[in-house]
Amino acid sequence: MNDGQRRQLDELGFVKREAVLDAPRTAALVDTVEELFAAEGLQAGSEFRLEPGSRRLANVAAKGEIFRQCVEMPEILVYVEHVLGAEYKLSSLNVRSANPHNHLPQPLHADAGALPDKRGYWICNTVWLLDDFTEENGAIRFVPGSHQWGKLPQDVLADPAAPHPDEILVTGKAGDVVIMNTHGWHGGTENRTGSHRRAMHIFFCRRDKPQQQYQKRLIPAEVQQGLSPRLRWLLALDDPLNDQLSATGAGASGFLK
Ligand SMILES: O=C(O)CCC(=O)C(=O)O
């Protein structure tokens, strides 16, 4: 991470890394995502939450090695560590696909309704673009600096779904990854095109907080056995504190992530 990127993440609340995924890997992710949508049908995303106007998949760390490989990419984790400190873990791994002609913009929100606590920031999302994000197709808007305000949009805005005077639209190319301090106010926008707008959300939290998706329960035991020590650490598979915090599903509360 260079100084400019660090400053952007600290001050604006997000930074984009271009071309993290090459075209074949992006295409393979899209194929796997579409296979899962087809297999899961109307149930897709229901383990976490459904969202009108969008297709969602949940728990995809349990649904393919291709997703787990993205969790441990050092060139992205360096940013996550910058936001959360050295003691972080995967919280959840989902896919969101804004439907063609989806005219339901998300309200501005902080992920999981989370405010920073005494120790500071405790969530960080990474948004992996599986399609180009354009001004037309439902790119994410972000209110720069709002991660530092210690307030939730629903508590201070008359209408969190309305455009915010300071919001920036985060556009990019398929294969880019946007690292977001999602204490900051953000949300998906309208998709005015005839195509799906797909993204994967690899969501991290500090290790003293519950996971949104308790990986130890979700990932099949035979798959867990074959995972590297690094991935086991990232997924908190051998972490008694995480067992205590996450086994009840407490981390699933709050707003959309
Ligand atoms: O548009 C996206 O992929 C991100 C939307 C978002 O902020 C969320 O689902 O919490």
> Quick one: tokens of 48?
């976490």
Residue 14 lies in a domain: yes
pLDDT digit string (tens) for 194-232?
999 999 999 999 999 999 999 999 999 999 999 999 999
Q: Which atom of ligand 1 is nearest to the CA of 182?
A: 7
Residue bearing the CA closest to ligand 1, atom 8: 257
Confidence label for 254 from pLDDT (cuts 50, 70 and 90): very low
Residue 63 lies in a domain: yes
Residue 82 lies in a domain: yes
Residue 252 lies in a domain: no
Strand-pair partners of 102: 191
Q: Which domain holds residue 53?
A: 3-209
Confidence label for 255 from pLDDT (cuts 50, 70 and 90): very low
Residue 243 lies in a domain: no
Mean pLDDT (the chain) is 95
pLDDT at 81 over 50: yes
pLDDT digit string (tens) for 113-140?
999 999 999 999 999 999 999 999 999 9
Residue bearing the CA closest to ligand 1, atom 1: 188
How many angstroms is it from 222 CA to the middle of ligand 1? Answer: 31
pLDDT at 251 over 90: no
Q: How many domains does the chain have?
A: 1
Residue 226 lies in a domain: no
DSSP letter string, the chain: --HHHHHHHHHTSEEEE--SS-HHHHHHHHHHHHHHHHHHGGGTTTTT--BTTEEEE--GGGS-HHHHHHHT-HHHHHHHHHHH-S-EEEEEEEEEEEPTTB--PPPPB-GGGPPPBTTB--EEEEEEESS-B-TTBTPEEE-TTGGGS---HHHH-S-TTSPPTT-EEE-B-TT-EEEE-TTS-EEE--B-SSS-EEEEEEEEEETTS--SS-HHHHS-HHHHHTS-HHHHHHTTTT-HHHHHHHTT-GGG-SS--
Ligand 1: lining residues by beta carbon, under 6 Å: 96, 106, 111, 127, 140, 186-188, 199, 256-257
Per-residue three-class SS string for 94-156: EEEEECCCECCCCCCECHHHCCCECCECCEEEEEEECCCECCCECCEEECCCHHHCCCCHHHH
CATH number reported for the structural domain that contains residue 65 in this entry = 2.60.120.620
Global confidence as pTM:
0.95
Give CA–CA dist 15/165, Å, rounded.
20
